[in-house]
Amino acid sequence: MAKPRRPAPLGRLARPQSLLQRTEQVLRDAIARGDFGGNRLPAAAELAEQLGVSRETVRLAQENLQREGLLVKYRRKGTLIQPPALTLRKSAPRSTLLGFLQTDYPSRNRRSDDATRVTSGLMLQGALTEAGRVGHQLVVRHAPSDEMDAAIDGILREAPVRGVIFCSFGEDKMVRRVLGAGLPVVMLDHELNLPSVSTVREDSRQGAALAVGHLARLGHRRIAYAHWSWADINPWRLAGYRQGLGEAHLPRRRAWELLTEITPEAADALVDRFLKLQPRPSALLCFNTTLAGLAMERLRRHGVRVPEDVSVVGIGGEEISGLSCVQADWFDMGREAVRSLLRAAGTKGDAAPEHRLFPYHVRSGRSAAPPKRDPT
C-alpha cells in the first residue's frame, strides 16, 4: 500500500508594502534609472498626480530619501538629486546588476529610525558611487526586516544579478536562500557565522574603546555608558567600553552601564538615573550620537553644564553640531562592500570570504573637556 503523499509546504505570504513604502521605492528606482532631468525632482503636487497618491505621501517619501542621502532640499530651488546618485546614469546596461537589500534596525520610534538612516544612507551612497564607477548598477530594495522575503524575491527576479549585499540586516535563512541561488553575498554593517559570506562593518569594539581612551586622556576617571536596549544588535560597543576602561586602568561599575531606548522620554529617564549615581561619573559615553544629543539636552534642563560638569561623547551616527564623538567612514564601507562583492563574483569556484573592519576616529567637539576637578 502506497504511503499517502505529504502535501507540499506552503510558501510564506509576503506582506504588502504600505503606500508610503511603495512611493518611496518608485522614487528610488526612478532616481537610479536617471529618469529626472536636470537633477531635480518634479514638484510634490506633480509627483502625487502621476503616482495617484496624496502630496503628504510624496512629502514623507522624499523626507525618507533625504535621510538616506539620495535627495537634498534647497529653499527656492526645490528637491535635487545628490551627486553620488547621479553616477547611475552613466552605468552599464542592465546586464551588469548587483543586488542591494537594505533595512532599518528594529525600533519603536522615529528617532531611532532617523539615527540609523543617516549611516545607512551614507553606506548606500558609497555603494552607488563604486558601482557606477566600475560600470555596474545597483538594484536597491528597501523594506522593514519582516518584509525582506518579498524584497529578496524582487532581487532574484532581476537577471542576471551577480551578487547581493545585505545592509544592516541578514537572517540566516534569507542569506542561505541567496547563496543557494549560486550568488555571492556580502554582509554590510552586519555579520553572520557563515563560512562563505564576506563582511564589511565598522569596528564598534575599537570605536567604544577609543572613545573611552579619549575621555581618559582628558582626565576622566569615572565614565558611564548609555547602551541601546536592543543589545543583541550591537554587543561590541559594550564590550569595547569595558575594554577601554581596562586599558586605561579605570574603575568599572555595573551601575554605570545604563540600558535605554533612543527616545526623548527614555533620555529623560536615563539622565535621571545618571544624576542619581553616587559618586556621579564625570563623563557619559552614549551608544550613538542621537542618544548623546538627547542626553545633552536633558542634562542642561537639569542645570547640569556640558562639558563643565559632565562631558558627553557619542559613538557613530548623525552629525550633531558641537558634539564630541567617534565616527567611522560609512561612505567608504559602502564602496568596499561593492568591491568585495565583485571580487567574489569574479572568482571561479569557492572564494575565501573577506572580513573588513573599518576603524573609528575621534572628532573633537565642545561637549567633552577635562573634568573640573579630579574625581579621585
What is the domain-level CATH number for residue 173?
A: 3.40.50.2300
Name the most confidently modeled range: 99-103, 111-115, 350-354: 99-103
125 in Cβ contact with 331 (< 8 Å): yes
Rounded Cα–Cα distance for residues 136 and 133 (Å): 8
Is 141 in contact with 14 (CB distance < 8 Å)?
A: no
Residue 25 has pLDDT above 50, yes or no: yes
pLDDT for 360 equals: 97
In a domain, 191, yes or no: yes
Per-residue pLDDT tens for 46-75? Answer: 888 777 778 888 888 888 777 666 777 766
Counts of helices then strands in the chain (DSSP H, E): 12, 14
What pLDDT score was predicted for residue 182?
Answer: 86
**Distance (Å, rounded) from C-alpha 322 to C-alpha 313?**
10
* Mean pLDDT value across residues 240-258: 97
Half-sphere exposure in the Cβ direction for 54 (13 Å, CA)? 5
> For residues 114 and 294, which has the higher predicted lDDT (pLDDT)?
294
Task: Provide the domain limits for residue 29.
Answer: 20-202
Most confident range, picked from 138-147, 183-192, 277-286: 277-286
C-beta of residue 307 within 8 angstroms of C-beta of residue 368: yes
Residues 47 and 111 in one domain: yes
Asked which of 166, 182, 202 is the last residue of a domain, the reply is 202
* Average pLDDT in the chain: 83
Instruction: For the beta carbon of residue 347, count every other beta carbon within 10 angstroms.
Output: 11
Smallest CA-to-CA distance from 163 within 336, 348, 341, 356 is with 341
What confidence score (pLDDT) does residue 12 get?
A: 41
Alpha helices per DSSP H over the chain = 19-33, 44-51, 55-67, 83-86, 110-133, 148-157, 172-180, 204-218, 236-247, 264-276, 289-301, 330-345
Q: Is residue 276 part of a domain?
A: yes
Q: Does some domain include residue 337?
A: no
Query: How many domains in the chain?
Result: 2
pTM of the model: 0.72
Q: Which of 66, 39, 41, 40 is nearest to 51 (CA)?
A: 41
Q: Say which residue, 114 or 302, is predicted with more confidence.
A: 302
If asked whether residues 174 and 62 sit together in one domain, one would say yes
Specify whether the CB–CB gap between 26 and 51 falls below 8 A: yes
Q: At what angle do helices 19-33 and 44-51 cross, to 10 degrees?
A: 110
Same domain, 208 and 230: yes
Residue range 331-337: mean pLDDT, rounded: 95
Least confident of 126-135, 198-207, 252-261: 126-135
In a domain, 373, yes or no: no
Does residue 73 sit within a domain? yes
CB 118 within 8 A of CB 63: no
| pLDDT, mean of residues 101-107 | 66
Q: Please tell me the distance from the alpha carbon of residue 30 to that of residue 85, in angstroms, as a whole number.
A: 11
Where is mean pLDDT largest: 32-46, 131-145, 350-364?
350-364
Q: Say what the pLDDT of residue 241 is.
A: 98
Is 29 in the same domain as 98?
A: yes
Cα–chain center distance at 22: 21
In this structure, is the dihedral angle defined by the CA atoms of residues 370, 222, 286 and 232, taken in order, positive or negative? positive
Nearest to 168 by CA among 126, 193, 201, 197: 201
What's the whole-number mean pLDDT along residues 36-55? 79
pLDDT band at 161 (very low <50, low <70, confident <90, very high): confident
Residue 94 and residue 158 in one domain = yes
Q: Which pLDDT belongs to residue 176?
A: 87
Residue 82 covered by a domain: yes
pLDDT at 352: 83
Tell me if 181 sits within 8 A of 42, measured CB to CB: no
Q: What is the pLDDT of residue 94?
A: 41
pLDDT at position 256 is 97
Which triple of cell numbers denotes residue 58? 510624496
Residue type, 224: A
Q: Is residue 372 part of a domain?
A: no
pLDDT score, position 347 = 75
- Do 53 and 61 form a contact (C-beta atoms < 8 A)? no
Summarize the confidence of residues 21-50 as an average pLDDT: 78
> Do residues 305 and 211 share a domain?
yes
Q: Are residues 211 and 312 in the same domain?
A: yes
Do the domain assignments include residue 74?
yes
Do residues 163 and 185 lie in contact, with contact meaning Cβ atoms separated by under 8 Å? yes
